[in-house]
Structure 1
Amino acid sequence: MSSFQYLKPTGSPFVDRHVTRFSDIVKPWNEQEIVGVGIVGAPLSKSSISHSGAHLAPSTIRKAFSAFTTYSIEDDCELSSFEIQDLGDIVMHVTDIVHSQDRIYKTLSEIYATNRKFLPIILGGDNSITYPSIKAFSKAKGRVGVIQFDAHHDVRNLEDGGTTNGTPFRSLLESNTILGENLVQIGIRDFSNSKFYRKYVDSHGVTVFTMKNVRERRITEMIDEALQMMKGQVDVIYVSLDMDVVDQAEAPGCPAIGPGGMSAATLIEAITYLGEQPKVQGLEIVEIDPTVDFRDMTSRLAAHVILHFLKGKARIK
């Protein structure tokens, strides 16, 4: 037998014939109809009001896929039966933020129009991608309810800085893309917002669960409450995850890190439970800056979130 059998491409991972890694089942999109899960990158970070390298996050999250297997030992569940296609990244304009956001909206709108049955997972990018992402989702799916995991309300005024990563939910509310009564914010953190903006979300009927609520109640109870409020009011539910909802000790790679945030375990429990809900038909993950992360901890957590979301979906297959 030739000794060339020991040669392999540079950087190739160790291969165990009895192990399937998540990266093994994520296939490039062949531009045919998407019938399973579709992953789309929206690498925009120029709209961040603080320093951000979030445009690099889609790549580091994808890289983290190879760190995990497709087998859930807790559920004795194998995810390798999922059809998962990676559609690639939406190309951002070099200088024009609004044009970049418009590209996100137009690209996702076209994808949804021609692929009616797939489950989208959007990888940001900063939180400014949320407005065009949900706007496109709403255009295709009808009445949308949103469960937002975030340390911040993200309803800043549009006069002081335009459409930034602090304004997406203001834009969604004021454009009537979503109704305040169909928006639930979970994990809003102490000393990270202003009274003015708390009054703003209250005036629009937004439901707010602070981190104190998260500490004192079971996360699935709050989600059940949110689902009950939206029952009969929405056609689909979209999950928006800003990773800065997680405590800085477990998600150091966020531009707006802070103490007193959600634990990774609580977030994973929440996302798994949301995955079990048939009306939950979209997930986005935003606000990871790989340039300030430690050993890709935050991107690895994001990859784990996706795995648990799909595990939830596997439970209702």
Structure 2
Amino acid sequence: MLNIPAAPVIDGARHLHSGKVRDLYELTAGPHAGNLLMVASDRLSIFDFVLETTIPDKGEILTRMSLWWFDQLADLVPNHIVSTDVPDVVRGRAVICDKLAMFPVECVARGYLTGSGLLDYTATGEVCGVALPAGLVDGSRLPSPIFTPATKAELGDHDENVSYETIVGTVGAEGAAQLRDLTLAVYGRAEQIAREQGIILADTKFEFGVSTRGDTETIVLGDEVLTPDSSRFWPAAEWEPGRTQPSYDKQIVRNWALSPESGWDRASGEAPPPLPEAVVERTRARYLEAYELLTGERW
């Protein structure tokens, strides 16, 4: 069961929702009244549990990284950012964004085989109905990137990988094609940028919505984008198919939780215990390393 702390009270904003990492508000005063305020916390979740222990600066890292990526992708797809002039209490970790009618689809692009995709492939030779060559292993590069959508689960549940035909049934043929094409175009751009910095973008997920700003309805990239929370980043120099790859994300925390050292039984239904300080420090360092390598900026 998720145990999400109460969202902070922010003057001029009405709290709408809290997820595993983000708190969402509607602005009720000021020049951006009516828009949304999206705040990235330092919370961290693994195996659908929000941990008691937070990772210092994580919310700021995710926010800065998303803003950097939105700039890199602006010519491919518009995004939901309206302003970064946010209340002081959340400055650096929040953005003001457009209200979107979100598609009920997790738009996942995979260029490499791992995670739930590997499980599907091992069982069926396919991922989300996409047939793949025989003989692939954990970490294999795919012949070309694939669109492997998932349905959005309720908070605390797992997203479910589904076929492209399922998405057609959900959003229509035209909507499904637009989501697929945008997902693969954005992944292709981001994969190239990351590779130039010595990082493999193995897979990532995007969320899109429809904006009515202006005279026409436009598909817009929303939420976070291409952060260690939504993507698998691997150091290219250490890539070796056939094993679990080292990564720039919370894998350090997952590994610790599953180790005998933690004393946690995943099957117990109980949340993992508080993280040791060394695990917190290594996780923060890994997020920072990903940010600095990708953006070329010092923290």
TM-score greater than 0.5 by the shorter chain? no
Which structure shows the bigger proportion of residues in helix conformation?
A: 1
Could you state the TM-score of these two structures normalised by the residue count of structure 1? 0.28
Which structure shows the bigger proportion of residues in strand conformation?
A: 2
